């Protein structure tokens, strides 16, 4: 890159900064001194002390003189965290370095406030991004520093403690990693053994002993289309995310993985946090979530339970979503690029949207729950509270059962469907069972939506499926502040909730009594979240991903980004050193 800083063709001044979860935004005031320059031609790179570009900012034009630069520090375009280094932000065009981004003196006192530390690995490590200005220069060029740090003792150690730590730590690490090293070695042996095996795929879950949801839907559709005769289909279903697995089970899984050209998973798979797949094997994430509010994966970086910088998510070739509009939420969760999220729709909803299936299940539901016949049905279906499956609960004291029972009268009944992780049953008194029912054991919440007239939930993604019933919903968010702090939201809660939001039970009951549901938000939600409303999601997953027929416009976006990253890595900014 040619150093043209002294020509002062461009002046770029950072006048504001803010964070949106893991994305830093910078508002830049531009002055194009060279009138022949077009602002659309400018590229903004983060260049480290070794004069290499490690990230390229996304650009939004605010007006003729202002742009917003954005960088997701968990994925600045190459599906990896921003590399450790000290960075300048350079304004470039094709082959020329035109300007350094300077900092407006008015915001210099707040630079420390813009810095962030994202705790991970059970809060034993922190990914740090800090901002300052360069010293010993007449102007104020921005300095951005990133590093991944680990905790260490703040006490003064004795010589004996230092020696003991120096001897023990390597042994602990070796012992911890030895098992993984053996598994990796075995995996690569199997890869070599099965290198000539073709057209073998696997449906895999580490969350359950059986397939379900999107995995089962795609599997069933492949069989129905006769593709099980063309492909060898393997299955692995283990609850490895919360139960220790035997060596035999792990060996069987690794052997299956080594044979596959494609593996479909439905959630986090811990084995892929440390075992890198052979390049010939594509890992596809068919995550069950439609589009709720609560943050997951990298969108909740810094919160307890978030992933490490290198994790299973980094290996995904593709993920899926209901629409292009919401693809960005999924790409942020997985730390991959927006264009890798394919808007196929959710395969598990194919059956749900089938008219014949709906008629059949509706009739069966009224037989199973006769109290619902001739009544309006309220489905109370919140998510769990707690850190994980082992600690999951719901605070039933937040429900005034007597008040809700009296409200029902002869018009309503209430079905309570807690998150599957909530083990404690709903405390329904015997005298209230003519209007209340605990349906926790019912296997598929989607089927319940057929007979539901009003859904009451909180932060659950079940609103995604329910919205297609075009019926009202309400949100009982008594702990929104605490929940947003512990879990985080990947978008504004009030703005995104397709219904009335209530913050205490009294407010909820008043809205029920007045039928104040804010139903108009439902139609807006459906329009934004669904590119297809049909029973073809499984076919799109098969056709686009398995058979390689991704739409051309999406292919073009993927290719464009790959070329931009490849070009960026070849850039040489060493002329700055000479200047």
Kindly tell me if the per-residue pLDDT of 578 is higher than 70: no
Is the pLDDT at 69 greater than 60? The verdict is: yes
DSSP string, 44-76: EEEE-TTS-EEEE-EEEE-SSSEEEEEEETT-S
Given CATH 3.40.50.720, say whether it is the number of domain 351-529: no
User: Is pLDDT at 166 greater than 90 in this prediction?
Assistant: no
**d(C-alpha 419, C-alpha 517), whole Å:** 23
Residue with tokens 């007597």: 402
- Bridge partners of 203, per DSSP, are 235, 264
Query: Closest by alpha carbon to 255, among 229, 238, 236?
Result: 236
pTM to 2 decimals? 0.89
pLDDT for residue 579 is more than 60: no
Tokens 């420390």 belong to residue: 112
Rounded distance between C-alpha atoms, residue 331 and residue 318, angstroms: 9
What is the side-by-side order of every strand in the sheet holding 500-502? 436-438, 412-416, 376-380, 454-457, 473-476, 500-502
Confidence grade of residue 115 (pLDDT, cut at 50, 70, 90): very high
Lowest mean pLDDT among 373-377, 383-387, 422-426, 443-447: 383-387
Q: Classify 575 as helix, strand or coil.
A: helix
How is the chain split into domains, by residue range? 2-151, 173-347, 351-529
pLDDT band at 420 (very low <50, low <70, confident <90, very high): confident
Using alpha carbons, list the distances in angstroms from residue 405 to 229, 368, 448.
Answer: 55, 21, 20
- Give the residue among 121, 562, 565, 79 at the shortest CA–CA distance from 315: 79
Q: Kindly tell me if the per-residue pLDDT of 489 is higher than 80.
A: no
Strand partners, 262: 201, 282
Residues near 92 by Cβ (< 8 Å), separated by ≥ 6?
1, 42, 43, 44, 45, 98
| Number of H-type helices and E-type strands within the chain | 17, 24
Q: What pLDDT, on the 0 to 100 scale, is given for residue 36? A: 86
Q: What is the pLDDT of residues 223-249, one digit of tens each?
A: 999 999 999 999 999 999 888 999 999
Q: Are 544 and 551 in contact (CB under 8 A)?
A: yes
307 within 8 A of 340, measured Cβ to Cβ? no
What DSSP string describes 324-373? STTHHHHHHHHTS-GGGEE----TTHHHHT-HHHHHHHHHHHHHH-GGGT
Helix (H) or strand (E) run with residue 358 in it:
helix 355-368
pLDDT of residue 179: 85
Residue 176 has pLDDT above 80, yes or no: no
How far apart, in whole angstroms, are the C-alpha atoms of residue 335 and residue 80? 7
Separation CA 286–CA 265 (nearest Å):
6
- Could you report the per-residue pLDDT of 426-451, keeping only the tens digit for each? 999 999 999 999 999 898 899 999 99
pLDDT at position 17, please? Answer: 96
Are the C-beta atoms of 358 and 366 separated by less than 8 Å?
no
Whole-Å CA distances, 437 to 369, 423, 462: 8, 16, 19
More confident residue, 386 or 349: 349
Which of 510, 512, 407, 499 has its CA nearest to residue 458?
499
Residue pair 326/291 in contact by the 8 Å Cβ criterion: yes
Alpha-carbon span 304 to 153, nearest angstrom: 21
CATH superfamily of 173-347: CDP-glycerol glycerophosphotransferase, N-terminal domain (3.40.50.11820)
Tell me whether the CATH fold assigned to 173-347 matches the one assigned to 351-529: yes
Residue 387 banded pLDDT, cuts 50, 70, 90: confident
Backbone angles phi, psi at 387, to 5 degrees: -80, -35
The pLDDT score that the predictor gives to residue 389 is 79
Percent above pLDDT 70 for the chain: 94
pLDDT tens by residue, 181-234: 999 999 999 999 999 999 999 999 999 999 999 999 999 999 999 999 999 999
Write down the residue that tokens 């069950």 correspond to: 288
Tokens matching residue 447: 């089927």
pLDDT tens, residue by residue, 266-304: 999 999 999 999 999 999 999 987 765 667 899 989 888
- Mean of pLDDT values over 111-131: 93
Identify whether the C-beta of residue 288 lies closer than 8 Å to the C-beta of residue 266: yes
Q: How confident is the model at residue 490 (pLDDT cuts 50, 70, 90)?
A: low
**Tens-place pLDDT, residues 133-162:** 987 677 899 999 999 998 777 677 777 766
Instruction: Give the CA-trace dihedral at 478, 483, 484, 488, to 10 degrees.
Output: -150
How big is the chain, counted in residues? 579
- Residue 314 vs residue 386, higher pLDDT: 314
Q: What is the DSSP letter of 396?
A: G
**CA–CA gap between residue 318 and residue 322 (Å, rounded):** 14
247-259 and 159-193 are packed helices; what angle lies between their axes, rounded to 10 degrees? 50
Instruction: Give the tokens for residue 85.
Output: 């280094």
pLDDT of residue 169: 64
- Angstrom distance (rounded) from CA 327 to CA 558: 14
Tell whether the model's pLDDT for residue 167 goes beyond 90.
Answer: no
Give the mean model confidence (pLDDT) for residues 399-403: 95
Helix, strand, coil % in the chain, rounded to nearest 5 = 35, 25, 40
């Amino acid at each position: 890159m040619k150093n043209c800083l002294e020509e002062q063709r461009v002046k770029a001044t950072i006048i504001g900064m803010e964070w949106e979860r893991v994305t830093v935004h910078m508002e830049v005031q531009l002055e194009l001194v060279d009138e022949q320059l077009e602002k659309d031609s400018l590229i903004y790179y983060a260049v480290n002390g070794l004069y290499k570009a490690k990230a390229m900012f996304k650009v939004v034009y605010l007006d003729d003189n202002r742009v917003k630069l954005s960088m997701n520090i968990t994925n600045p375009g190459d599906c990896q965290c921003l590399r450790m280094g000290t960075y300048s932000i350079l304004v470039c065009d094709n082959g020329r370095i035109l300007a350094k981004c300077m900092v407006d003196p008015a915001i210099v006192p707040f630079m420390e406030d813009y810095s962030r530390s994202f705790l991970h690995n059970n809060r034993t490590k922190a990914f740090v991004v800090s901002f300052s200005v360069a010293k010993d220069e007449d102007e104020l060029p921005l300095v951005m520093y990133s590093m991944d740090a680990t905790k260490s003792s703040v006490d003064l150690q004795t010589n004996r403690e230092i020696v003991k730590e120096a001897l023990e730590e390597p042994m602990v690490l070796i012992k911890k990693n030895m098992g993984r090293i053996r598994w990796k070695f075995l995996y690569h042996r199997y890869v070599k053994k099965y290198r000539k095996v073709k057209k073998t795929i696997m449906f895999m879950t580490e969350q359950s002993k059986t397939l379900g949801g999107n995995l089962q839907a795609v599997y069933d559709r492949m069989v129905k289309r006769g593709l099980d005769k063309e492909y060898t289909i393997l299955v692995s279903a283990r609850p490895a995310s919360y139960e220790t697995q035997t060596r035999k089970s792990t060996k069987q899984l690794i052997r299956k993985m080594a044979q596959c050209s494609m593996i479909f998973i439905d959630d986090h798979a811990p084995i892929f946090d440390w075992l890198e797949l052979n390049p010939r094997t594509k890992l596809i994430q068919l995550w069950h979530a439609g589009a709720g509010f609560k943050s997951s994966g990298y969108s909740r970086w810094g919160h307890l339970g978030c992933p490490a910088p290198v994790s299973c998510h980094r290996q995904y070739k593709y993920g899926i979503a209901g629409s292009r509009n919401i693809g960005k939420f999924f790409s942020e969760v997985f730390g991959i690029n927006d264009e890798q999220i394919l808007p196929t729709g959710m395969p598990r909803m194919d059956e749900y949207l089938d008219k014949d299936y709906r008629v059949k299940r509706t009739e069966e539901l009224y037989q199973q729950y006769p109290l619902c016949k001739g009544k309006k049905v309220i489905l109370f279906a919140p998510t769990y509270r707690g850190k994980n499956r082992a600690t999951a609960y719901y605070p039933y004291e937040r429900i005034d059962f007597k008040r809700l029972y009296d409200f029902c009268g002869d018009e309503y009944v209430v079905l309570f469907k807690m998150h599957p992780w909530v083990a404690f049953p709903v405390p329904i008194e015997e005298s209230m069972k003519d209007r209340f029912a605990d349906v926790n054991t019912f296997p598929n919440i989607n089927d319940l939506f057929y007979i539901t007239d009003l859904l009451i939930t909180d932060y659950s993604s079940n609103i995604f499926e329910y919205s297609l019933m075009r019926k009202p919903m309400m949100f009982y968010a008594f702990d929104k502040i605490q929940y947003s702090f512990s879990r985080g939201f990947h978008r504004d809660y009030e703005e995104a909730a397709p219904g009335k939001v209530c913050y205490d039970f009294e407010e909820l009951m008043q809205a029920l009594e007045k039928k104040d549901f804010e139903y108009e938000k439902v139609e807006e939600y459906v329009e934004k979240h669904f590119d297809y409303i049909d029973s073809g999601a499984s076919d799109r997953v098969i056709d686009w991903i398995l058979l390689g027929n991704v739409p051309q416009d999406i292919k073009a976006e993927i290719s464009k980004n790959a070329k931009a990253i490849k070009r960026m890595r070849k850039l040489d900014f060493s002329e700055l050193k000479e200047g």
